[in-house]
Structures are given as C-alpha cells and as structure tokens.
Structure 1
C-alpha cells in the first residue's frame, strides 16, 4: 500500500509514518519544510518514505504524486491551542483546514475523474482489484486513491458540562464548531469522485508531547492541579489508539463516514488532574484559575476551560479494540 500523508512530521503523523513504514508500506510525506522532514525521516532509516514539498493552500506539481497512491491521510492544520485567537489567527486556523483540504480533494478528484473510471456505467470503484492484504483497491494500469482519511475534531459539537455527544449529535455554533463544519464539508466533496471518506473527530490526544507535555511540568514541581473549574469534560485518546484507528480506516473498506477518535471513558478535568498526580506520585492541589488562561489565550481559552463529553459510539461498533480505554493505564504508559 502507498499512502500520502499531510501533517506527517507532527505528533500523530510521525508515529503513523513509523507504523506504516514498519509494516513495509510506501509513504509519501507532503511537507512545507523538506529539511525538517528529512531530519525526522532520514533516508537510511526510512527507505520507503518519499518526501515531497507542497504548498497546502495552492495547486501544484505535488498534486500529481497523489495519483500514484492508494490512500491519503490529511492531518494538516494550524494548531488551535497555541497563542491568542486574534482575528488574524482565527483566519489562519480556518484557512489552513479549509484550503488545505480543498487542494487535497482537488488532487484526488483529478486522479479519479468519474467520467474516466465509470465508463461502463458501473460504480466508479467497481471491478477494481484489491491490493492483497491492504483492503485498498487499484486499477490494473495505475494506482488511484480510493480512500481519504480526513482529520476533524470533537470541537464540532460545541461545549457542554451536561450533554453527551456521539457521531449522530448535531454541531455546535461556536468558532471551533464552525471550523469543523467547514473542514468536513470540504472533505465530503471527495465523495463526488467515488472515493471512500473517513472523517475522524479527534479528542485530546495524549502521548509524549502534545497537550499532556504542557501539563506535566507543574506536577513535577509539586504545583499541579486542575485547570479552571475542574468540572469541564475532557474527552481524550492515547496516540497509539489514534494511529491504530487510522490504520484500520485505511485497510477496512467497510469503514466509512464519521467516527469519534476518543477513548470510551471521558473524564472531568478534576479527575484528569487527580489521576495524573497519582501516576506521577505528586499532589494535585493548585488549581490554575480560568482568568489566568483567558489572559494568556483570549478566546482560545475555550479549548481548555470548556469541554464536551464525547462517546465513540460508531468507533466501538466497528469492533475497534482500544489499547488504552482507561485514563490511568494511558497515563502510566506515557509517563513511566
């Protein structure tokens, strides 16, 4: 199987590349910074990785590489939890997802012209032989991308201290919810080319780095505690389970549509802080007041001060087996 990945040098993407490479697959890393990508994936260790420069919000020669791939994983997007949400920053957050996904879909569509593939009046993917063991189809003459795995986020649902959300829940109406709606709408256009689409709405991803990396230092200094009220929901997932979900989505043709990439056991922020303290053998006694986060992040404080209880109903229904379904086991693996 040959897979193109955007956001491949990031927290999730780099682990996904390692996993795919370890299983003998070919990977195309689409990156804005080839020098950095070459450091992350040195050729002597990653012989099956091809690094291709691309401009996420512009058409270009990079799009032709998509036509040689079986699948595409689109993880790119400006970080939402870094810096104040100025009007300019909010536009960057939106455009990086909207325009970036537009160009990925454009590339896939150009590789999968419906009029060319569906010449007999059959389904665009009919009579396409599969790659042994991959679950991904290819025509006899050349590869065509048959699946797009597109990132989204549980911010789609808005925030609530009392409601429970699953994949069938309606969207919220705050800024992040609007971003996710636009993001997903752009991804859905790939279905016009007869391409299977899987949208993964990510919760807070826990691993070495990411959000957890910012929480651990205060606990090491015996100054850890819940953020804000502590009552807000924290819907999380271990990064290993995220990678496994993506691998499953790539290789199982029956998986299609929206899935929540969250663990089945969300917790309150206060419970997260208490469990983190227990795992690190540190007290959880010094709350971080909400006004301090608001002073630092402005509107972006919503990311940590408000949350949502999200359940992965459809994900569980696929038979996906979580490696880390409970917070304590996830934190112990990461910290110890």
Structure 2
C-alpha cells in the first residue's frame, strides 16, 4: 500500500474498527473522524494504536470535516445510521441524511481542500439493485426501480460519492452485502442462544447476499492497494443463499435442537417497515472482484458460520 495516511469515517462501527486494526498492523497512519472523539479514543488507545489520530467532526459540516482529511491520500467513508431497527419517521430521516447529506458534506470538504486525497472509497449496499426472488444481479445490472426507501437512499448515496470524481479523485463504490462476524459481546449472546439457532426466519426463501467481515476488510485493503480499481464493486460472497440456508447453517454448526422459527408477522411487529431488511433480499454476485482475481477466504456460508461460531 502506497498510502501515506488513510482517513476513515464510521471507524468505530462493525467494519471500520476492524479496518483500523488491520491498517495498524501494516503500520499505516490512520485518522479516525468521529462525532464522539472520546468514544473513539477509548476504542483506539494510543498505547495500542500509536499511529491512530482521532479527529472530532460534524458529519454534516464540511468545515469540521476538512481538518481530519489533511495529509490523507485515501478516504474510506463507512459512516451511516444503522438500518436494522424500527423505522420511525425520525429514523428514516437519519438513515437517509447520514448517507446522502453526510456524503455530500464529505465530498464538499474534499473539493475545498488545496491538497486533496487521491482516493475516495465509499460504502454502499446491495439494495441498489432493488428486491427480487428470481433475478441475478452483477455490477452491470441496472439500478433498482424507485419507490423503495432503501433502494432510493442507496441511489442518492452513490450519486453524492460519485461527485468526487469531478475533483480528480479515484472513486470506488463498494456495495456490501450483509456482513457476518461476531463481536466479543455478541459471542456471549450467541452462546446463550445456541439451542435456539437455526429456526426459519420469515418464509426462508428470501435471498441473502452476505459476506464474512474478514473478506469485506480484505476487499477494502485490496482497493486501497490497487490504484487501477475504479467504479462499483459488489462486496458479497460469490455464493448468495436463501435465508433458510443461512439459518440451517447456524443450526448445524451450533448443534441446536430447538430451532424456533420466527414468522414474518413477528418481525414486522418488532421492526415495522424496517422488517424489509430481514424479509426481502436479492441475489447479488461479485463479478468484477472475481474478474480482478480476488480470492475469498470464506466463499461458502457453512465455513463462514463455522468460523463465526467456533
């Protein structure tokens, strides 16, 4: 990697914190842009992460973003409000604003810098293609039809990131599938839930385009390492599966014996419109990554789940 410094938004999130750890192992200086500098500093203590600098910022204010980008040759934009929750009107606004308005502010900050980063890597999502039980989607597939909240949000999100190309940046969009891994806290929860894992979720027929977190991080590192990579890439396993295959894998690996099903009605009662994240899906393939020679460590759901639970 030739980058002198990498600036990261969303660095305390599920993917971001692992990316910071991997860059630290490589000896790459990192600037963490955070709305909560004290939280970020606690997550990356100086004695363990001497090359990590924490910069407080307002994600909607370009004037506060720019100082954290000084000397960065690459920016990895992972910030975004969580979507796996009940969607109140306020939550909907936060989900969209964090992606559309937040990305616009970031690109505006970059555009106003006298010395700009060379690369912007922006997260996106497979929902870009919409929902389908039958279609196969790859990077050359058209965007999904408007009218779906997540699909529309993803289109706006990507359009704002692509504006950075107007300022001579290399722009890479990574359309992530559902990232699988377990934090230490989550591992303890899974241990308690082991007897119940494996029950059908909803119909079980919905497609799940997924990726192991370690593969997701390897893709981010590959993009940082490879100046020739530009445009959109699907950051998903080459083997998307039906939801029932996901839950069956968790049941087999955990040797659960109860396998309590979760009907769609229960999920809708819990999450409202946000249930679409779990109940609707699409079959997405990483054709461009495979053509580029990327090799997945966890291409199959069974080996990924085994790694997560072991």
Shift of 1:161: 1.1
CA 1:285–1:105 in structure 2 vs 1: closer, same or farther (change >3 Å)?
A: same
Change (3 A) 1:87 1:314: same
Q: Which residue in 2 is equivalent to 1:149?
A: 121
Aligned residues: 304
Cα displacement (A) at 1:153: 0.3
1:75 aligns with 2:49: no
1:247 equivalenced with 2:221 (yes/no): yes
TM-score when scaled to structure 2?
0.94
Residue of structure 1 in register with 2:254 after alignment: 280
- Name the CA shift for 1:186/1:75 in 2 (closer, same or farther; >3 Å): same
Q: Is the 8 A contact 1:34 1:53 kept in 2?
A: yes
State how far apart, in whole Å, the 2-side matches of 1:315 and 1:29 are: 27
Q: Does the 8 A contact of 1:234 with 1:268 survive in 2? A: yes
Once the 2 structures are TM-superposed, how far is the Cα of residue 59 of structure 1 from its aligned partner? 2.3
1:120 corresponds in structure 2 to none
Give distance in 2, aligned partners of 1:194 and 1:107: 14
Superposed CA offset, 1:134-161 (max 9, x none): xxxxxxxxx6410000000001111111
The 3 A distance-change label for structure 1 pair 95 and 214 is farther
Q: Provide the residue aligned with 1:309 in structure 2.
A: 283
Alpha-carbon distance between aligned partners in 2 of 1:110 and 1:41, rounded to the nearest angstrom: 29
Cα distance change on mapping 1:42 and 1:214 into 2, 3 Å: closer
Asked whether the 8 Å contact 1:156–1:171 carries over to 2, the reply is yes
- What residue in structure 1 maps to residue 294 of structure 2? 320
CA deviation vs aligned residue, 1:62-112 (integer Å, no higher than 9, x gap): 413313101000000000002x11222111100011111112111221226
Which of 201, 206, 220 lines up with 1:232 in the alignment? 206
**CA shift at 1:325, angstroms?**
0.8
Which residue is equivalent to 1:299? 273
Q: 1-side partners of 2:130 and 2:64: how far apart?
A: 38
Supply the distance in 2 between the matched residues of 1:24 and 1:57 (Cα, whole angstroms): 30
Whether 2:139 is the aligned partner of 1:162: answer: no
Q: How far apart are residue 221 of structure 1 and its match?
A: 3.3
1:55 maps onto 2:27 in alignment: no
Contact 2:9 2:33 in 1 (8 A): yes
Quick check: 1:200 aligned with 2:203? no
Q: Per-residue displacement from partner, 1:201-244 (whole Å, max 9, x unpaired)?
A: 0100001149x879946851336402100000111000011111
Query: Which is further off, 3-12 or 154-163?
Result: 154-163
Structure 2 counterpart of 1:179: 153
> 1:218 & 1:81 partners in 2: Cα distance?
21
Matching of residue 37 in structure 1 with residue 40 in structure 2: yes
Q: 1:209 to 1:44 in 2, by over 3 A?
A: closer
Give the SS at the match of 2:271.
helix
Cα pair distance change 1:283/1:219, threshold 3 Å: farther
Q: 1:164-215 CA distances to partner (integer Å, 9 max, x unpaired)?
A: 11111122231110000000000010001110000000100001149x8799
Gaps of 5+ in 1: 113-142
Distance 1:200 1:290 in 2: 29
Change (3 A) 1:215 1:321: farther
Q: 1:193 to 1:223 in 2, by over 3 A?
A: closer
CA contact (8 A) 2:5 2:72 kept: yes
Say if 1:277 and 1:284, in contact at 8 Å, map to a contact too: no
The 3 A distance-change label for structure 1 pair 50 and 223 is closer
